[in-house]
Amino acid sequence: MSPKAICLLSGGLDSATTLYAAKAKGYEVRALTIHYGQLHERELECAKKLAQGVAIEHQVMALSLPWKGSALLDASIPVPTGRSDQEMAHGIPVTYVPARNTIFLAVAASYAEASGSAILLIGANILDYSGYPDCRPEYFKSLEETLRLGTKAGAEGRRLSIEAPLLKLSKKEIIEWGMRLGVPYDKTWSCYQGQKAPCGACDACQLRAKGFREAGHEDPLLNYEKSSH
Amino acid sequence: MSPKAICLLSGGLDSATTLYAAKAKGYEVRALTIHYGQLHERELECAKKLAQGVAIEHQVMALSLPWKGSALLDASIPVPTGRSDQEMAHGIPVTYVPARNTIFLAVAASYAEASGSAILLIGANILDYSGYPDCRPEYFKSLEETLRLGTKAGAEGRRLSIEAPLLKLSKKEIIEWGMRLGVPYDKTWSCYQGQKAPCGACDACQLRAKGFREAGHEDPLLNYEKSSH
């Protein structure tokens, strides 16, 4: 019997690759998209297309955090653009959303309990986003223990485990792996801005472009955008 | 300077008492109500009145868990009624909502970070609800550690602590304390059913009635309901 898993699917490059990696591992995957009041809906559309593409159950949950405090939630804080690799690697970025991964993984745990799943998949990555405290391995370990203690599944001896298969991969390695797995990267969205085409300047666009460049592939999203104009 | 705290406020007797206890302790309290798709809106109305009554900032967040698996979310599972104290004390009740307190406290942590608060207050109680794994002290301890590791506040040395002041009190003791604190119990709702008056038969109604009886007080909600007919 295939292990059942819940995959957090934002519609970005990393979560799409995580989904395909889990499918390749033989997991029976359900996807969960939490629409938490990002400034744009492009990722949400991508998440829906990705889940449809692999024909899996997909739950989309609206969770509007009414407080601000992150450039991803608050239009008055500019998203960072044009920073050097070194600047990106230090400190907690303004795109940090308070307690986001804990909220996401708690909701995924709820879905896991309701569907009898044992694995929570998250596309977290520690190289590109070293500043996010909720991407660190010791944080995931601690949350697993919290879920063991605080869920019915845990109380009954069915532990929920958190898997972050991309955690220590570079963007280049993620893209190389994803290309082998057949991830349709034209159906993923990374840009922090919500325009028709990626801005090319924000941290997320820069990391994505660098990854494709180093992996020796063209980004199919850019080709797609070009050909649709 | 008063410590800042976020109080999870469902609109029930326990969370109302927790709010008043925190105010009495001198905390600068903000209230957070998570409307997660319970079957009725009576508690939500009560939460709003309670927060207005003490004139504090109050955030209401809709978070509809699209999966079922609890009598509190799923109309097809009957809420338990007429059980003995002993039956109530054993096993995980059908009213357990998968990972609920972890979701709630993660959202409260997010609000705490955004508002510079250090304390998360929850009206959890281990005597009446001994079956809920997410009401156990070791669970709260573990979640504090997870939040220390996984939040910006924690990474910067400002630990978020979880306080559950009612954890080991009986319903009688909670009500006695609340009456001294002046909690307006006519503005609290406990019944699992969403009718105009409390059903009197579900676990929550039974526990409440027993608590008031043992504390030697009349439940002002019942007086209020009587006088308004």
- Cβ contact, residue pair A61, B61, below 8 Å: no
Q: What is the dihedral of CA B38, B82, B204, B171, to 10 degrees?
A: -160
How large is the ipTM? Answer: 0.89
Nearest CA distance, B125 vs chain A (angstrom): 14
Report residue B29 as tokens. Answer: 């309290």
Evaluate whether A29 touches A23 at the Cβ level (below 8 Å): yes
Which amino acid, one-letter code, is at A122? I
Query: What's residue B144's pLDDT?
Result: 98
Chain B residue nearest residue A95, CA to CA: B152
CA A176/CA B197 separation, integer angstroms:
62
- Cβ contact, residue pair A107, B96, below 8 Å: no
- Cβ contact, residue pair A150, B101, below 8 Å: yes
For residue A3, the tally of other CB atoms under 10 A from its CB is 14
Long-range contacts of A75-84 (CB under 8 A, 24+ apart): A75/A39, A79/A192, A79/A193, A79/A202, A79/A203, A80/A202, A80/A203, A81/A199, A81/A201, A81/A202, A81/A203, A82/A201, A82/A206, A83/A203, A83/A206
Query: What's residue A137's pLDDT?
Result: 94
Of A211, A220, A228, A226, the C-alpha closest to A182 is A220
pTM of the model: 0.90
- Cβ contact, residue pair A110, B103, below 8 Å: yes
**In chain A, which residues have their Cβ closer than 8 Å to the Cβ of B4?**
none
Evaluate whether A14 touches A123 at the Cβ level (below 8 Å): yes
Query: What's residue B106's pLDDT?
Result: 98
Q: Is the pLDDT of residue A168 over 50?
A: yes
Query: What's residue B203's pLDDT?
Result: 82
- Partner residues linked to A8 by β-bridges: A32
Report residue B109 as tokens. Answer: 């942590």
Numbered residues of chain A with Cβ closer than 8 Å to any chain B Cβ:
59-69, 92, 96-103, 106-107, 109-115, 133-134, 136, 138-139, 142-143, 145-147, 149-152, 154-155
Q: Is the pLDDT of residue B178 over 50?
A: yes
**In chain B, which residues have their Cβ closer than 8 Å to the Cβ of A98?**
109-114, 151-152
Nearest CA distance, A184 vs chain B (angstrom): 27
In order of A180, A187, B56, B82, B147, the CA distances from A42 in angstroms are 25, 10, 36, 50, 30
Domain B4-227 belongs to what architecture? 3-Layer(aba) Sandwich (3.40)
A221 vs A143: which has the higher pLDDT: A143
Residue whose pair of structure tokens reads 């406290």 in the numeric block:
B105
Evaluate whether A108 touches A32 at the Cβ level (below 8 Å): yes
Phi, psi of A181 (to 5 degrees): -80, -10
Q: Is the pLDDT of residue B85 over 80?
A: no
Q: Is the pLDDT of residue A72 over 80?
A: no
A136 pLDDT band, cuts 50/70/90, is very high
